[in-house]
């Protein structure tokens, strides 16, 4: 990411891909400007937050005009490094991992799973949607050769830390962790944790205990 992004608060930075996807759709339908109210309705972020977020990008919406779609798109493309394809490794070609391989991330942004790894020898040498599956023995070699710095973790929780240590050793800088395990990494490594079971449980809890209409924005 460029230095400009460093000044943006992390909560704002997390919303960037959301804004970017919506603006790309607007742009392809020929729209030149958008109001914060329209954006708010589409991305489900309140318009005060959108205005504050956009002020960090130097995009000051004009009353009665809104935001210039082209300006925002250029900014997002540059900030999110969308001109460059980011290659991602996937570790653990089980049910969830296979679903990610079948899901075409490229449709929405410029990230692509370019290799996958597993210990199950029956999966070796196969291709899933043009992505080759390698044995874990080849992990470090392939990651270094392909200069991959981002990995998705879809392995069983008990092996997650051990694999994470290997990823860090192979120069991976960012890990999207889909296992329930909490990972220990050096401060220079970024881990985003998505525990689907916890998310689902929390949704059910909120529905039960906070009637709709009373929902506050949770960042
Ligand atoms: P499946 O039905 O294929 O077992 P699953 O998602 O239910 O899928 P999990 O036990 O969560 O199964 O394992 C996910 C994947 O991680 C499997 O393909 C498994 O072979 C792989 N795996 C297990 N241990 C390791 C490891 N140490 N390194 C890499 N991959 C591993």
The per-residue pLDDT for 132 is 95
Q: What's the predicted TM-score (pTM) here?
A: 0.74
Asked if the model's pLDDT at residue 1 lies above 60, the reply is no
pLDDT in tens, 148-188: 999 999 999 999 999 999 999 999 999 999 999 999 999 99
Protein residues with CB under 6 Å of any ligand 1 atom: 91-97, 117-120, 136, 155-156, 159, 163
Residue in 21, 26, 25 with CA at minimum distance from that of residue 77: 21
Overall average pLDDT of the 18-45 stretch? 88
Pocket test for ligand 1, best of 94, 138, 152 (most atoms within 8 A of CB): 94
112 versus 172: which is more confidently predicted? Answer: 172
Structure tokens at 15: 């919303």
ipTM of the prediction: 0.93
**Ligand 1 midpoint to CA 197 (Å):** 17
**Ligand 1 midpoint to CA 11 (Å):** 32
pLDDT in tens, 127-141: 999 899 999 999 999
pLDDT in tens, 97-107: 999 999 867 66
Residue 88 pLDDT level (bands cut at 50, 70, 90): very high
The per-residue pLDDT for 102 is 92
């Amino acid at each position: 990411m460029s230095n400009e992004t460093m000044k943006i608060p992390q909560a704002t930075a997390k919303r960037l891909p959301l804004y970017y996807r919506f603006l790309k759709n607007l742009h392809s339908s020929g729209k030149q400007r958008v109001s914060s109210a329209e954006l708010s309705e589409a991305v489900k972020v309140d318009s005060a937050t959108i205005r504050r977020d956009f002020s960090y990008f130097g995009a000051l919406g004009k009353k009665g005009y809104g935001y210039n779609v082209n300006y925002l798109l250029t900014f997002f493309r540059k900030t999110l490094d969308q001109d460059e394809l980011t290659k991602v490794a996937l570790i653990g070609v089980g049910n969830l991992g296979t679903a990610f391989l079948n899901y075409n991330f490229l449709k929405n942004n410029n990230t692509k799973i370019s290799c996958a790894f597993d210990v199950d020898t029956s999966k070796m040498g196969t291709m899933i949607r043009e992505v080759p599956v390698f044995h874990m023995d080849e992990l470090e070699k392939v990651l270094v050769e392909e200069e991959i710095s981002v990995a998705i973790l879809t392995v069983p929780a008990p092996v997650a830390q051990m694999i994470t240590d290997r990823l860090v050793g192979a120069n991976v800088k960012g890990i999207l962790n889909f296992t329930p395990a909490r990972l220990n990494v050096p401060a220079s490594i970024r881990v985003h944790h998505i525990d689907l079971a916890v998310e689902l449980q929390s949704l059910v809890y909120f529905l039960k205990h906070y009637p709709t209409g009373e929902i506050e924005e949770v960042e």
